[in-house]
Structure 1
Amino acid sequence: MGPNGAGKTTLLRALAGRLPEYEGEVLFSGLEARALLPGLRNYVGVMPESLLGYNWMTVRQHFDFLAQFFDGWDREYEASLTSRFEIPEAGLLGQLSNGTRAKVAFVSAEAFRPPVLLLDEPTAGLDPVMRRHLIEAVVETLDADPRRLVLFSTHILEDVEWLAERVLVLHDGRLRTDRAVDEVRTDGGSLPTALYALLEADEPATR
């Protein structure tokens, strides 16, 4: 979490191996992300804030195209998610609503069951019911394999309550807070209220 310009998307891009120039290290099991390219894409799924694809393709063509690049792409899982989110396979990417584009972006990131899943504003543009469906889908993947890591950025504080185990707050490119969700809660208060207070606080950097 963090204000606009805090560095959330930049951090996710570095973790995904899509930001070749940065200071410091991004380590996966002790190995630098840049040294793992291009094979890293089979281990890290990315749902960007805006769907990446060719607007002239149908959803079906889009999934067929992506399946060529991921060793573990699961056609049955793809079909299950597509049905669950009521995605029209014949729809052109360029003519989809923002909400449907977000759902296509999620399936694109999740269909090969990557051990690491990065979600950039995953529920932005979704109605409340579909937001909950997407969050539930993410939770189910974690229940099925607790070893998976899901890191997501969001401005929707309720999503943190539904999904997160830890809260990381960025300010000006620096990590200001890294706490368990239970530690963030205030006595007798709601988690969103506590998160608002945390975002407004001027805390010293923790690392």
Structure 2
Amino acid sequence: MVPRRRGRRPWHRTRAYRLVRTAAVAAVLVTVGVQCGGSDGTPAGTASGGDRAVSAAARTPPRPLPRSRATTLRVPSLGIQAPIVGLGLGPGRELETPPLDRPKVVGWYEDGPSPGERGTAIAVGHRDTKTGPAVFAGLAHVARGSRIEARRADGRTAVYTVDRVKVFDKAGFPDKEVYGPRGRPELRVLTCGGFFDRRTGYTSNVVVFAHLTATR
């Protein structure tokens, strides 16, 4: 349950995300601070049998997919099935975020890789709003080995497997580790976390690291 916070600033306004393109045509997101919380570690939990099967079957990496717009994101272990909206950059080169009046949608950075493409793709969503929990309220509890499925406009689905979940304090956010280019298709899913301060917003970022293990 999320307590009411009068006059609170949404997490994405308290610390701007800045994006630059790398030589490897990967999007590197440079945080100027998205406040989200306390400890730095991987949440406890075990993957479901279906998730373990995907991991075992993915020892031979699938071929990267060609470009196609993201449409839906599913995280079966958390009961998440959400529409995706494309995000770009605002006038100040900050990453746009999903509309506050649509707290159950996920944003996908359109100038980065699309689902299943080679490189580091970026998806973001709200943890909560003034009206209550949002799409990624439980993101910090996703277990290693869980599936994240990104449906595409061409009808195909990119299936990612969670490698780890980290909570990074805003003061020491590792931009290169999170957003740096990779030689294989990977996904970062972000939301805010930690403690909320009415003046400065959240204290840390929740970051899910995943890589492509199947396509269908």
Normalised by the size of structure 2, how large is the TM-score?
0.28
Work out which structure has the larger RCO, using CA pairs closer than 8 Å and 6 or more positions apart in sequence.
2
Larger Rg: 1
More strand by share: 2
Q: TM-score, normalised by structure 1?
A: 0.29
